[in-house]
Amino acid sequence: MRQYLNWKTYLALVAIFIVGASLYFTSQLAAKLAIEERKKVQELAGALKTLVISNNNLETAFASNIIEQNTTIPLIIVNEKGGIVDYKNIDSASAINPSRNMQDKLNEFKKTPPIIADYGTGKNYIYYGESYLLTQLRYFPYVQLAIIFLFLIVVLFALTTAHRSLQNQVWVGLSKETAHQLGTPLSSIEAWLELLRDDDPQSEAVLEMQKDLDRLKLVADRFSKVGSAPQLAEDNLVHRLEGIVEYMQKRSPMNVAIKLHNKEPEILVNISGALFDWVMENLIRNALDAMGGKGAIDITVCNTPQQVWIDVQDNGKGIPNHQVKKVFTPGFTTKKRGWGLGLSLSRRIIEKYHHGSIYVKHSEVGKGTTFRIILRR
C-alpha cells in the first residue's frame, strides 16, 4: 500500500476527515434546531387555541405575542376539510394564486407531520417548513466542502509548481555540471586518438573510436543545452531516425534487431536535432535494458497534416500498471544502477522545447512496452 500513499494522499484524507466531522456536527445541530422549531410551532398552536377559546385579556395578549414573535418559521393552517385558513412567513410570490402556489407549498410542508390545534368544536392542522436559518445550516457543510476543495486545488497547484521548479533547477544544474566535467577527459581522449591516427590513419578501430568520440561530444553538448531554449530548425526526421537506428544497432547485442518502419523518404519537422536524438537513444537504450540481450525494437513513424508521431515498441519485460504513471518522475528507476533522469529529461525536451508530448502508449508485463512521441506541426 505504501506505493499508493504520498503527501497528496494524506492531504486528501485530512480534508475528508474535516468534511466528515463538519457534516456530522452540522447534522446534529440541524436536528436540534428542527426539534426547537417544532416546539415553537406547538407553542403557536397553543396560542391559537387560547385566542379562540379564552376570554381572559391577559391570556389572549400573551398568545398574540407568541404568534407575532414567529417571524422565521413558514407555516400554513388548514381546517378539517383541507381548506387553507391562514398562512404566515411565506413570500408574496407563493400567495398570489392560493389555489396553486399555496397548494404546492402545502404539499411540500406535508412531508413533516402537522401540529394539531383542537378547539373543542373543531380542529386545525398547522403544517410548517424549515426556517431560513435551518436551511442555511443544512447547506453549510456543502459550501464548506466547496471551499475546502478549492483550497486544496490552490495548495496542490502551488506545491506542485514549487516542487517542479525546484526539480528543474536541480536537473539543469546537474546537466550543466555533467557537460563541464565531460569536457576535460574528452579533450584528453581526442589528443590520444590523434596519436593513434598518426600511426595508422585508416585503422578501423581508430575510425570507430572517432565516431564514439564525436558521439560523446554530442552528448556533452546536449547536457550543456538543458535549461536553455534550443534553436529549432527544419530537419528530415526520417534521415535522423535512420542514423540513430544504424548507430544503436552496431552497439546492441547480436540477438537484438532494431527496425525502422516508415513509408515516406522525407518528413520535415522543426526540431533540435541533438536533443531529439538524445530522446530516441534514451528510449532505445531503455528498451535494450528491458529485453535482456535479445528481442526486437520496432520504431514506427506516421505522418499526418497536423502532427507526426513516433512509436518505440519493444518486447521486453514491460512495466507494471502501478508504475506506468511514475516512469517520467525524476529519480524513479527500476534499474539497480541509474539516477532515473533519462525519461524525465526526455519529457522536458519533447514537451517544453518541442511543444509535443511523450507518454506510455501501452505496456504489458512480460510482453513489452510502447512509448509514443507526438510532434505537432
pLDDT of res. 296 = 94
* Cell triple for 230: 534550443
Residue whose entry in the numeric block shows the C-alpha cell 403557536? 44
pLDDT beneath 70: ranges in the chain: 1-8, 92-100, 120-121, 167-168, 171, 222, 225-228, 331-332, 334-340
Q: Answer yes or no: are the C-beta atoms of 317 and 277 closer than 8 Å.
A: no
Are 363 and 319 in contact, with CB atoms under 8 Å apart? yes
| Residue-level pLDDT at 364 | 92
DSSP state letters, 285-340 = HHHHHHHTTEEEEEEEEEE-SSEEEEEEEE-SS---HHHHTTTTSTT--SSSS--S
| Tens of pLDDT, residues 119-137 | 766 788 888 888 888 888 8
Nearest to 280 by CA among 351, 358, 189: 358
Domain boundaries, the chain: 2-130, 231-376
Structure confidence at residue 257 (pLDDT)? 94
Q: How far is 187 from 193, CA to CA, in rounded Å?
A: 10
CA 303 to chain centre: 30
Per the listing, cell 512495466 goes with 319
Centre a 10 Å sphere on the Cβ of residue 349 and count the other Cβ atoms it contains.
25
Pairwise CA distance, residues 208 & 218, whole Å: 15
At 95 the pLDDT is 44
Backbone angles phi and psi of 265, in degrees to 5:
-75, -20
* pLDDT digit string, tens, across residues 246-277: 989 988 888 999 999 998 999 999 998 888 99
Q: Looking at the domain 231-376, which fold is it?
A: Heat Shock Protein 90 (3.30.565)
Quote the CA–CA distance of 297 and 291 in Å, as a whole number: 9
Residue 186: closest CA among 214, 208, 207: 214
Question: Which three-class secondary structure state does DSSP give residue 371?
Answer: strand
Q: Which residue stretches of the chain are H helix?
A: 7-53, 57-69, 92-95, 103-109, 132-199, 204-225, 237-250, 273-291, 321-324, 342-347
Phi, psi (rounded to 5 degrees) for 252? -110, 160
CB–CB of 280/311 below 8 Å? no
- pLDDT, tens only, 12-45: 788 788 878 888 888 888 888 888 888 888 888 8
Give the C-alpha separation, 58 to 85, whole Å: 25
DSSP state of 87: E
Contact 323, 296 (CB under 8 A): no
Alpha carbons 112 and 35: distance in angstroms, whole number: 12
Rounded to 5°, angle at Cα 127 from 126 and 130: 130
Which grid coordinates are listed for 139?
447547506
Grid cell, residue 92, equals 408574496
Pairing state between β 294-303 and 255-261: parallel
CA atoms within 13 A on the CB side of 201: 1
Supply the pLDDT for residue 58: 79
